[in-house]
Structure 1
Amino acid sequence: MIDDLRSMAVFATVVGEGSFRGAAKRLELSPSVVSHHVSQLEKRLGCALLYRSTRHLSLTDDGRIFHQACARAVEAAEEGLHSVASRKLELTGKLRVTCPALLAPGPFVDDALAFSETYPGVELQLDFDDERHSMVKEGYDVAIRIGWLDDSALRARKLLVLQRVLCASPELVARHAAIAHPDDLRQWPWIQESMLPAHIDFNGPSEETCRVQLRSRITTNHVQAARQLAVGGAGVLAALDVVVAEDLAAERLVPLLPAWQMANPSAYAVWPANAARGSLVLRFVDFLDQRINHTSVDRR
């Protein structure tokens, strides 16, 4: 079988080059060895594969059908060799990544560490900031963004959907009347995160929907500052659950309207549209996607 596969590759090369001599040069074999491989195949199959003249070669009908199978086999072998070889290639270069500050204490840093350990030749720069930076203007290769993406010329891949919780301090809740509907919150003070829309869409029981415009008492561009303001009683906050989980557990914050759901933002990897397949940028995005969506890594 191994000899047959070798002869099939030789035969496919003869057809591709259009001559025994061309195939011999391509394979770095003698023309007589190339001819021997083809003859052995014809003998094994019991049919002619090629019509030969002093100047030309042409496929017989059997040869045409057999060549299609040979071409597929060679292509599959080359693809397998390439896929394994490409994994062994060491990535090198510098990768600048901008990320929301709230990801600094979470599993994203573990993902970045795993990438760095897998590809030690890559210099990884992680900039954590709740301001959205212009990738092209500021020279970032990848941005991790949370929320709803604006239309742009950038490419994006959704990595995961995050959960939000509506909450406030017990002191703030005690100063207001009991609430049963999002409309009851229209006159409450809110803490607005400047990177998010100034309204919240709610979905409630019986598929009821409601949009509440935020009466922002304080606006901030920093997630942890918003959390601290909420704990201090400055207003209602619609926060990612990972940001306020400890405060909810310690009852420094209490959840509001648990029967109503808010639209949940997603985390995206964003990169320039002209990044080539297999580039350092796409390898990083693929790595994150694999870690987040196809492994058992704890995301808490």
Structure 2
Amino acid sequence: MQTYPKVNLSLNYTDQVINIMDEGLDLSIRVGWLEDSSLMARKIGESRRFLVASSKYASKHQPPTHPNDLKQWDWVHFSMRGSTVDFTSQNGEVVCICEKSRVNVNSALAISHFVSENLGLGILPENLVKKQLAREEFIHILPNWQLKPLGYYAVWPNNARRENLTLLLVRFLAKRGLITAED
């Protein structure tokens, strides 16, 4: 907005996938992995995902060394993705486990809240847990195992004109790098 002072933004925050055509939106920032669509899309960032638990919840369990050690832990499940989780070790071993969830939510902020309330493990983007990890409120569980990173995508209708404000914003976000660990 500093670069384009005459531009006004109207923002709608939701973790739900919405039909931007039906909602009359010019642009959507989608987090995750895109499915085939008639919309235009451009990757504008990426974020690591961490498996976390509150320090109090983690202290009630034996520290895990392998994903299979988590089978008896409770999970706070993000309802918009499947209940299986793939972990990749540093040597390339892939292990798939099924979450045992007692809480299902449709918001990343809700996952963070219920994890902080000691209700189980949660998978969250690095930028949403950085402060809690630094304050040792959250523990990064199995830090030597990686989860598939989240992609951040700008998505817009394919009838957008080449130099309109939507495409200028997409280019700006892609050039700037929308998501970083500091966000």
With the length of structure 1 as denominator, give the TM-score of the two structures.
0.57
Structure 1: state its 5+ residue gaps.
1-115
Query: Of 94, 113, 129, which residue of structure 2 is paired with 1:228?
Result: 113
Find the partner of 2:140 among 246, 249, 255: 255
1:240 aligns with 2:125: yes
Match of 1:172 in 2: 57
Q: Partners of 1:246 and 1:291 in 2: how far apart?
A: 23
Map 1:182-193 → 2, pairs under 5 A: 182-193=67-78
Deviation above 4 Å: which 4+ runs of structure 1? none
Q: Alignment partner for residue 218 of structure 1, among 72, 86, 103?
A: 103
Which letter maps to 1:193? F
Residue 130, structure 1, aligned to residue 15, structure 2 = yes
Q: Which has the higher strand share?
A: 2
**TM-score under structure 2 normalisation?**
0.91
Q: Which amino acid aligns with 2:142?
A: L
Q: What is the Cα deviation at residue 272 of structure 1?
A: 0.8
Q: CA offset at residue 299 of structure 1?
A: 5.0
Alignment identity in percent? 36
1:140 aligns with 2:25: yes
For residues 267-287 of structure 1, the C-alpha deviation after alignment (integer angstroms, 9 at most, x for no partner) is 110011121211221111112
Q: 1:160 aligns with which of 45, 58, 82?
A: 45
Equivalent residue pairs, number? 182
Q: Higher helix share goes to which structure?
A: 1
Deviation, structure 1 residue 177: 2.7
Is this contact kept in 2: 1:146–1:265, CA < 8 A?
yes
Task: Tell me, in whole angstroms, the C-alpha distance in 2 between the residues paired with 1:288 and 1:255.
Answer: 29
Larger radius of gyration: 1
SS at match of 1:218: strand
3-state DSSP of counterpart to 1:117: coil
State the shift of 1:175 in Å.
2.2
Q: CA RMSD in A?
A: 1.9
**Is 1:119 matched up with 2:119?**
no
CA contact (8 A) 1:154 1:271 kept: yes
Question: Structure 2 unaligned runs (5+)?
Answer: none
Whichever residue aligns with residue 169 of structure 2, its letter is F
Whole-angstrom distance in 2 between the partners of 1:283 and 1:217: 44
Equivalent of 2:35 in 127, 132, 150: 150
For the 8 Å contact 1:147–1:196, the answer to whether it is kept is no
CA shift digits 1:46-77 (9 cap, x unpaired): xxxxxxxxxxxxxxxxxxxxxxxxxxxxxxxx
